[in-house]
A and B are shown apart, each in its own frame.
Chain A
Amino acid sequence: MKAKTYLITCVAVAAATVLGILFVPGIAEIFETVLLVFLMTNAR
C-alpha cells in the first residue's frame, strides 16, 4: 500500500472507530470489556 493510500486507510479506520463507539450501541462496552481483561491479565 502506498503511503497516501495507507494514510487514507488510517483516517477511515480511526473515523469508523470513533463513530462506532459514539453511535453504535454495545461497541463501547465491547472495547471496554476487552481493555478490562487486558489490564487484569497484564497489570500484575
Chain B
Amino acid sequence: MKIVKIILQILGILVLIPAVAMATLRFEKSDGDGPSIIFPGGALVSGELHTGPEPDWSFTADVDTIELELDDADTSRLIWIMDAEGRAFIASGYMDNFLGRLWKHWAVDVDAGADLAVVRIGDTRYERRLVRIRKGDILDGVAASLIRKYAGGNVTPQGIAGMRAAIESGSTWIFELAPRS
C-alpha cells in the first residue's frame, strides 16, 4: 500500500510540473506584442499598418511564419503562410480530432464567424478577412506551397493530391487572407 502511495505522489508531481509550466508560459506571453511558438501573445501593436493597393502575396514564398491576431480575441499566434496565384493562405492542421481543435481553437472561432484579423509580416501589419477555402483548384497551389515550405520540399503530383485530400476532408483547414472590403 505504501508503494502505491509513493507512486501516486510521484505521478502528482509529474503532472504538476507541466501544468504549472503551461500556466506560467501562457501568462507570461499573454500581454506581449506578438506570440511565441505555441502560446498566444497579445495584440499586435508595433509595425506599420499597410495601406494602399492589394499586395502581390507571392513575396511570402520566402516567409516562414507570420503573426496572426484575431480582432475578436486580441490575441496573436505564429502561423505558417502559403502563397498561390498571388494570394496568401494560412493553414490549421490536426483539425479532425479533439486535441487538434483544442490546440487550434482560433480556427474554430474563425470558421464560426470571427473572421477579421490582422497579420504582421516583418514590420508591416495587414488588416484581412479570413475566408475558409474548402474546395477548388486553388488548393493545388496551396498544397504545393505547403509541401514546398513545410513538408520536406519535394512537390509531386501525388503529394499535392494527398495534401488536397487532407484539406478537402477537413483534416487541414485553409483560410485565405482576403481583403476586408
Whether A and B are associated in the same complex: the answer reads yes
Q: Indicate whether B80 reaches chain A with its CB closer than 8 angstroms.
A: no
Within 8 A of A (CB), among B6-28: 6, 9, 12-13, 16-18, 20-22, 24-25, 28
Label chain B's interface by main secondary structure: helix
| Complex contact A43–B97 (CB within 8 A) | yes
Which among A9, A36, A43 is the interface contact of B37 at CB below 8 angstroms? A36
Which among A6, A10, A31, A39 is the interface contact of B21 at CB below 8 angstroms? A31
Min CB gap B91→A, angstroms: 14
Q: Indicate whether A1 reaches chain B with its CB closer than 8 angstroms.
A: yes
Q: Which A residues are CB-close (under 8 A) to B100? A: 43-44
Q: Indicate whether B38 reaches chain A with its CB closer than 8 angstroms.
A: yes
State A41–B24 Cα separation when bound (angstroms). 23
| Complex contact A14–B22 (CB within 8 A) | no
Q: Name the CB-closest residue of A to B21.
A: A31
- Most B CB contacts (10 A, CB to CB) among A9, A33, A39, A43 go to A43
Residues of B within 8 A of A (CB): 6, 9, 12-13, 16-18, 20-22, 24-25, 28, 36-39, 94, 97, 99-100, 103
